[in-house]
């Protein structure tokens, strides 16, 4: 099986980059192949422009979008890794999702988010976040992000099972960070396991 990891961080020494590497290590340890899209290193253009508007339902014709869609098409599971920015996706990931998972290619059933045009495959979000996990739950951020990303975005894309893992306390102690990296490794190792959080 082939697993695509999409990393959004400009710094190869960042915690997010380490999370992506450990996830991919887990994938390979389980005997699968791993491919990385490093959005910053590859200088992906996240801006949704008139070219995207004019492509209207045929975004695959845009060279950069078509290339990313081909990478998704040959993947059996997809993992997005990005730091939580203002309770949302950083601009690069947001633009990649906006432009690449396009109407007419990823979905067309606005009334039924489960009717994706893409085949079903596991999807996971690994999201380092500065906040503590109790704060995430108590203030409702975890539920809000789950609704938006798991039901919303990943639902439209037909990913299944789908899983959101907030790596809370990512700026904490070395022990905490080591724990989070170990969780990332396990997430990679178990990406195709039944009941992996759904």
Ligand X SMILES: Cc1cc2nc3c(=O)[nH]c(=O)nc-3n(C[C@H](O)[C@H](O)[C@H](O)COP(=O)(O)O)c2cc1C
Which lies closer to ligand X via its Cβ, residue 88 or residue 113? 88
Within 119-148, the residues that bind ligand X by CB under 6 A are 128-131
Residues whose CB is less than 8 angstroms from the CB of residue 16 and which lie 6 or more positions away in sequence, other chains included = 7, 8, 9, 81, 82, 83, 128
3-state helix, strand and coil shares in percent for the chain, rounded to the nearest 5: 40, 20, 35
The answer to whether the beta carbons of residues 44 and 69 sit under 8 Å apart is no
The single residue among 15, 96, 105, 107 that binds ligand X, judged by CB under 6 A, is 15
- 186 contacts ligand X (rule: CB under 6 A): no
Helix axes 63-73, 91-100, angle to 10 degrees: 90
How do strand 121-129 and strand 33-38 relate by DSSP bridges? unpaired
CB 73 → ligand X: shortest distance, Å?
28
- 184 contacts ligand X (rule: CB under 6 A): no
Within 64-123, the residues that bind ligand X by CB under 6 A are 83-87
The single residue among 3, 6, 7, 16 that binds ligand X, judged by CB under 6 A, is 16
Residues that bind ligand X (CB under 6 A): 9, 14-16, 83-87, 128-131, 170-171
């Amino acid at each position: 099986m082939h697993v695509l990891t999409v990393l959004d961080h400009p710094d190869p020494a960042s915690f997010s980059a380490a999370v992506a590497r450990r996830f991919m290590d887990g994938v390979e340890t389980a005997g699968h192949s791993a491919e990385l899209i490093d959005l910053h290193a590859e200088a992906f253009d996240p801006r949704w422009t008139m070219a995207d508007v004019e492509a209207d339902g045929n975004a695959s014709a845009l060279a950069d979008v078509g290339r990313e869609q081909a990478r998704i098409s040959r993947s059996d599971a997809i993992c997005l890794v990005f730091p939580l920015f203002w309770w949302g996706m950083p601009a690069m990931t947001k633009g990649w999702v906006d432009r690449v998972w396009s109407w007419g290619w990823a979905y067309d059933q606005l009334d039924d988010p489960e009717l994706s045009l893409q085949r079903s495959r596991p999807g996971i979000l690994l999201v380092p976040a500065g906040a503590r996990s109790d704060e995430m739950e108590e203030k409702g951020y975890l539920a809000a992000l789950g609704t938006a990303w798991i039901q919303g975005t990943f639902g439209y894309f037909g990913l299944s099972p789908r899983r959101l893992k907030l790596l809370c306390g990512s700026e904490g102690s070395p022990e905490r960070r080591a724990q989070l990296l170990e969780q990332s490794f396990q997430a990679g190792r178990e990406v195709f396991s039944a009941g992996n959080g759904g």
